[in-house]
Amino acid sequence: MSYSADNIPIPPHTAGKPHATRKMSETTQRLRPAALASAALGLALALSGCAQVDTTSPSTARAEAVHGSPAKFGTVDCRRAKCIALTFDAGPSENSARLLDILKQKKVPATFFLLGKNHIEKYPELVKRMAAEGHEVASHTWDHKILTKIPDAEVRDELKRPNDAIERLTGHRPTLVRPPQGRTDSDIHKIAKEQGLAEVLWSVTAKDYTTNDSALIKKRVLEQSDRDGIILLHDIYPGTVPAAPGIIDALKERGYVFVTVPQLLAPGKAEPGKVYRP
């Protein structure tokens, strides 16, 4: 299955470089001429921003749940209810407090994939509040580096540092990570597994990084939403938080029940090293 980048701005140290995996060029150098055509095809896919990734859907995770060690359902059983998960990337930010107020008022749980540098560091009280109010606090890496383009040691650091920071603040170590731009590969899966992390992608994106128009953000979300959906938004952008109440109300009117990502998978559990996407 192919996934395009979510186009969130790339930090300066990663901008403008080809989107090939770390090991692609090393492998190509060692290939015999007869194998170069295959390598070129793989490189073309990488440069286009797409990758072939095996994923597990929420319904499959629920169906494959191991008896005897089920996850908690929380307040809803998504095997029967029409569930959808609201997720926010790249916070906390100056907009997060207002978003938390909205979620509390609407009684909606969300999953926050947080950045470390300039975010967790800057807004530690908001991280604590997210956890205290029942939201799932997860990682979006430390510095939003494209994981497939950096050495393994740096990947480990990008995954470990936010987990350490979140655990210090909340008492709970994250079990979920969203790789920046959704860029991942088999090497990232292995390192994520080492760190006890499952990767979570998405099925709905408003591309809120391209517009401040809250009505357009709402429209895009509603057009793409379906049962077991995972909605990707960014509370760092000015149009997103104002769009949240309308998105929530409209989806509730359609019969959706909002859950965190772990609740969406229950009674299954997110397994480290796996990638989840509807």
> Does residue 174 contact residue 163 with C-beta atoms inside 8 Å?
yes
Catalytically annotated residue among 140, 144, 189, 234: 234
Catalytic site includes residue 135: no
Tokens of 200: 């979570």
| Three-class SS state of 10 | coil
Cβ–Cβ under 8 Å, residues 208 and 178: no
CA distance 235 to 138: 15
Q: Which helix or strand (DSSP H or E) is residue 85 part of?
A: strand 83-91
Phi and psi at 203, nearest 5°, equal -125, -15
**Tokens 């930010």 appear where?**
93
Catalytic residue among 89, 185, 228, 235: 89
CA nearest 144: which of 156, 158, 154, 157?
A: 158
Both structure tokens of 24 = 């692609």
CA distance linking residue 117 with residue 119, whole number of Å: 5
Q: Is position 89 annotated as part of the catalytic site? A: yes
Distance in angstroms (rounded) separating the CA atoms of residues 163 and 220: 32
The residues annotated as belonging to the active site are: 89, 234
